[in-house]
Amino acid sequence: MVLATYNIKGGVGKTSAAVNLAYLAARGGAATLLWDLDPQGASTYLLRVKPKVKGGGQRLVRGKTDAGTRIKGTDYERLDLLPADFSYRHMDLHLDATKRPARRLARVLAPLAPEYDYVFLDCPPSISLVSESVFEAADALLIPLLPATLSARTLDQIEQVAGDGTSRLAFFSMVDSRKRMHRDVMESFATERPEMLHTVVPLAADVERMGKARAPLEEFAPRGGAAVAFRELWKEIDERLGPR
Ligand SMILES: Nc1ncnc2c1ncn2[C@@H]1O[C@H](COP(=O)(O)OP(=O)(O)O)[C@@H](O)[C@H]1O
Ligand SMILES: [Mg+2]
């Protein structure tokens, strides 16, 4: 099962979700791989791995390097990482030079599939060949949305580009329930988008602290509201994905 944290926008909580959800999947007993596709390498950093793919990310993406040999273990049992590489900033060009760019990431992942119950793709914010290739590879997109007026538009756009082949699980991220606007947006979504996940990730200093701790929430603030929310979110996602 391939799950991609995706949004056209940056700074909405994709990486925070990828790291915490992948951690929870692994802790729940599933063999889990997180592939950091963002050249900025935030999830690689949070999992304390060096942001570099030996031989270059370009060769990996083009199928010239066996992905299995580039996987790193993390400090956590059953959680592996395919690290970011700075060359991913040109991944569009690298994909464009291949025969079927949209199939590329799925092809790289195919040989790994038997080894992992879950593969998480932490995506860079964009609409590009990279995203097309992500949509092909992913069974579901996990879409963090800020509760702002333009979010409905963002979700519409994602639905247009992602097409029907990939299921979409959107959830609100960085929610400040004291803010009138946040409450209003979430209320209108509840009627217009009943398929939204019900779990909400609150705006919480614990999530920002992940950068200092370089660890998932469960490792340093398991009783905080943010950790509770991610546990609830993973449970809801798992239920939505259904039996496999
Ligand atoms: N729920 C949250 N509460 C507070 N800060 C958050 C939350 N989610 C993310 N952040 C912070 O916002 C910034 C962007 O988050 P990140 O998960 O890296 O988003 P993206 O991957 O979409 O760019 C980071 O500094 C992160 O610590
Ligand atoms: Mg990110």
Give the separation between CA 13 and CA 53, rounded to whole angstroms.
24
Q: What is the pLDDT, as a whole number, of residue 239?
A: 96
Say if CB 66 and CB 107 are below 8 A apart: no
Mutate to test the pocket of ligand 1, among 8, 16, 120, 171 (most ligand atoms within 8 A of CB): 16
Q: Which atom, in ligand 1's list, is nearest to the CA of 173?
A: 1
Give this prediction's pTM: 0.97
H helices of 110-224, in order, are: 129-137, 151-162, 180-192, 205-213, 217-220
How far, in Å, is the centroid of ligand 1 from the Cα of 12? 6
Give the separation between CA 30 and CA 5, rounded to whole angstroms.
18
Q: Which atom, in ligand 1's list, is nearest to the CA of 16?
A: 17
Q: What is the pLDDT, as a whole number, of residue 244?
A: 75
Q: What is the pLDDT, as a whole number, of residue 144?
A: 98
What does 1-43 look like in DSSP terms, one character per residue? Answer: -EEEE--SSSSSSHHHHHHHHHHHHHHTT--EEEEE--TT-HH
Q: Which residues of the chain have pLDDT under 70?
A: none
- Minimum CA distance residue for ligand 1 atom 12: 11
CATH number of residue 217's parent domain? 3.40.50.300
Mutate to test the pocket of ligand 1, among 208, 210, 217, 232 (most ligand atoms within 8 A of CB): 208
How far, in Å, is the centroid of ligand 2 from the Cα of 210? 13
Q: In what order do the strands lie in the sheet with 140-145?
A: 72-73, 79-82, 32-36, 118-122, 2-5, 140-145, 167-175, 200-202
Q: How many domains does the chain have?
A: 1
Domain that holds residue 86: 2-241
pLDDT digits (tens, 9 = 90+) for 83-98: 999 999 999 999 999 9
How does the average pLDDT of the chain come out, rounded?
Answer: 95
Q: Which residues, in sequence order, are bridge partners of residue 121?
A: 4, 35
How far, in Å, is the centroid of ligand 1 from the Cα of 136? 26
Q: What is the pLDDT, as a whole number, of residue 186?
A: 94
Q: What is the pLDDT, as a whole number, of residue 152?
A: 84
Q: Which atom, in ligand 1's list, is nearest to the CA of 9?
A: 22
pLDDT digits (tens, 9 = 90+) for 198-242: 999 999 999 999 999 999 999 999 999 999 999 999 999 999 998
Nearest ligand to the C-alpha atom of residue 207: 1
